[in-house]
Structure 1
Amino acid sequence: MHKKTLGSVRDAGGEWLVKLKRNAPRLYAECEAQTVGDPLSVSDTTERTRGRVVRRVVEVYAPPAWRGDWPDIGRVVRVTRSGARDGGAYERTGLYVTSRTDGAAVLGEVIRWHWHVENRLHWCKDALQNEDAGGVRSKAGAAVLSLIRGATLSVLRHNGEWSPTAARSRLANRVGTMLAILRT
């Protein structure tokens, strides 16, 4: 299984982070088994954002003995997020593997950055701009449209429009305003 198929993030230094999913059952089971013992490092943080309290417990473990096609796994990371949302309690646990060997606090920030990118770019392009259902048949065409969608988000955010949905509503049929934004 290739790292990219699992949603990997590679930084400028070549280090990578992958959120494990159950579509890689042996690797998932091996990494899950690693989280039974004592972690090498733990970070426990709580923050209040948008009217809710979120607790994140990041636990870092040694890599599993079996790594399959993943010989450069440096750590297994378990993240448990809990809190209250929409009046109800929730708890979510995710497993990650990474080539990094940092402690829990650093790896927790790397994982948060991964989700920051996912939520601010990929989700906007998929859910709001319907990128995955684009119907473009050629790779070149899909790449060009993806660049245009990304540039659109960048231009909107550069001009203080943090919600693409609100920007679409506000700018609909306002060609002059859209052109003014593109000139900045």
Structure 2
Amino acid sequence: MLLCSQKLIAEKIIAANADYILSLKDNHPTLHQQVKNWFEAAQLIGFEGIDISISQRIEKGHNRIEKRTVYTVPVSQIPGLYQLDLWVGLKTIVMVVRSIQHWNKTTQEVQFYITSLVSDANKIASAIRQHWGIENSVHWTLDVTFHEDECRIRSLHSPQNFALLRRIALNALERESSFRRSIRQKSRRAAMNDRYMLSVLAAALSNSVPLP
């Protein structure tokens, strides 16, 4: 289901003359494993003879040093990619290696992406970094306002459903402009004032005008 929806998302983005960068995880098991295996093999030979673009960035702060290395290769470099023809506009495969050095330990994580952008590691790294900034900001707001990290909902599709509802609520609260307070204060007022709650709901609709 998710795989199909992401392919549809990619198709719609390309139809709108835009570009996409989509995370490649275990919900795409065959393609994910194929890409992972290819990069591991390519690293063993030092990417010799491979058309690859590499970008590296080191950031210091919060008592840690973070090193991010972004590798991008045209899809033509990885033959036989699974269901390649179903990903509209797909041009580049991306690997991001994040190494974080704390005072007492070093952690590393590897993430893969597929994108319609051409293989330019600097440009793609910048786009992914901006996405991380937005995601981190949204996550912080959701945790402060709705205590998302403390949520113990675990069964079936409930976690995804509630996460979607929180983001809808966050969007509505951000769009409501008659009460100029923090998102948390707006949320509390909506819980205590039915008229303001209707104003928030109205703000969530396109071309709507908040109630006076």
Is 2:71–2:96's contact at 8 Å kept on the other side of the alignment?
A: yes
Is 2:30–2:82's contact at 8 Å kept on the other side of the alignment?
A: no
- Aligned match of 1:79 in 82, 88, 96? 96
Cα separation, 2, equivalents of 1:5 and 1:21: 17
- Aligned match of 1:51 in 63, 68, 73? 63
Cα separation, 2, equivalents of 1:67 and 1:74: 14
Is 1:15–1:98's contact at 8 Å kept on the other side of the alignment?
A: yes
What is residue 204 of structure 2 aligned with on the other side? none
Is 1:23 the counterpart of 2:35? The answer is no
Q: Following TM superposition, by how much is the alpha carbon of 1:67 offset from its aligned partner in structure 2, in angstroms?
A: 4.2
Cα separation, 2, equivalents of 1:14 and 1:34: 28
Worse-superposed segment, 84-93 or 101-110: 84-93
Cα separation, 2, equivalents of 1:61 and 1:130: 40
How many corresponding residue pairs?
Answer: 151
- Aligned match of 2:18 in 14, 26, 38? 14
1:129 match: secondary structure: helix
Query: Aligned-residue CA RMSD in angstroms?
Result: 3.7
1:22 match: secondary structure: coil
Q: Following TM superposition, by how much is the alpha carbon of 1:87 offset from its aligned partner in structure 2, in angstroms?
A: 3.2
| Larger radius of gyration between Structure 1 and Structure 2 | 2
TM-score by length of 2: 0.57
Percent identity between matched residues is 19
Q: Which has the higher strand share?
A: 1
Is 1:127 the counterpart of 2:143? The answer is yes
Cα separation, 2, equivalents of 1:129 and 1:4: 32
Is 2:142–2:170's contact at 8 Å kept on the other side of the alignment?
A: no
- Aligned pairs (5 A) from 1:34-113: 34-35=38-39, 36-37=41-42, 38=47, 40-63=52-75, 64=78, 65-68=80-83, 69-85=86-102, 87-113=104-130
Is 1:148 the counterpart of 2:172? The answer is yes
Instruction: Give the counterpart letter for 2:81 in structure 1.
Output: W
Is 1:33 the counterpart of 2:48? The answer is no
User: Any gaps of 5 or more consecutive residues in structure 1?
Assistant: 158-163, 169-184
Cα separation, 1, equivalents of 2:100 and 2:36: 23
Q: Which has the higher helix share?
A: 2
Q: 1:78 to 1:106 in 2, by over 3 A?
A: same
Cα separation, 1, equivalents of 2:118 and 2:65: 29
Cα separation, 2, equivalents of 1:105 and 1:111: 10
TM-score by length of 1: 0.65
Q: Deviations over 1:126-157 (max 9, x none)?
A: 4333387799x9xxx878623234348xx678
